[in-house]
Amino acid sequence: MQIKIATVFVDDQAKALAFYTDKLGFKKMADIQMGAYRWLTVVSPEGVHGVELQLESIVGFDAARLFQKTLYESNRPCTAFTTEDVEAEAQALRERGVVVRGQPENMGPIKAVMFEDGCGNLIHLVQPLVKPE
């Protein structure tokens, strides 16, 4: 069994697609209109081949809207992305106009910082400091 798709709820799919491709450098994978529903995914050129991030609309989905709002207001990230150099990546994001919250901090086996995706989410940017066994 493998993880194929992870979901991030977004308040505007067009805005999310622009952010995740233009600011983060991800590539659009699927963009399929199914009536009122839009199946939209992106992939990371640096990520595991075949793993997609679904940009799921919260429009008309009150439970998802509440979940997203609760996470954001609680200062909780909805997901995490990894990098080999969190300080350089955070600086590059800032230069592209991304709101990065604070500076990367050591947190035991990781160094991390959060950034905003502009679509209602906080994302944890993580640099592992310990290699997995």
Q: Which domain holds residue 12?
A: 5-128
Look at residue 77 and tell me if it is in a domain.
yes
Is 18 a residue whose pLDDT tops 90? yes
Buried b (16+ CB within 10 A) or exposed e, 67-84: ebeebeeeeebbeebbbe
Q: For 36-61, what is the mean pLDDT?
A: 93
Look at residue 82 and tell me if it is in a domain.
yes
Look at residue 65 and tell me if it is in a domain.
yes
Look at residue 112 and tell me if it is in a domain.
yes
Q: What is the pLDDT of residue 128?
A: 96
pLDDT in tens, 26-40: 999 999 999 889 999
CATH of the domain at 21: 3.10.180.10
Q: What is the pLDDT of residue 131?
A: 80
Look at residue 133 and tell me if it is in a domain.
no
- The confidence band for 49, taking pLDDT boundaries of 50, 70 and 90, is confident
- The confidence band for 69, taking pLDDT boundaries of 50, 70 and 90, is very high
Count of domains observed in the chain: 1
pLDDT in tens, 90-103: 999 999 999 999 99
Look at residue 71 and tell me if it is in a domain.
yes
Cβ-based neighbour number of residue 105 at 10 Å: 10
Q: What is the pLDDT of residue 47?
A: 82
Given the DSSP bridges, would you call strands 122-128 and 27-34 parallel, antiparallel or unpaired?
A: unpaired
Backbone phi, psi, residue 91, to 5°:
-65, -40
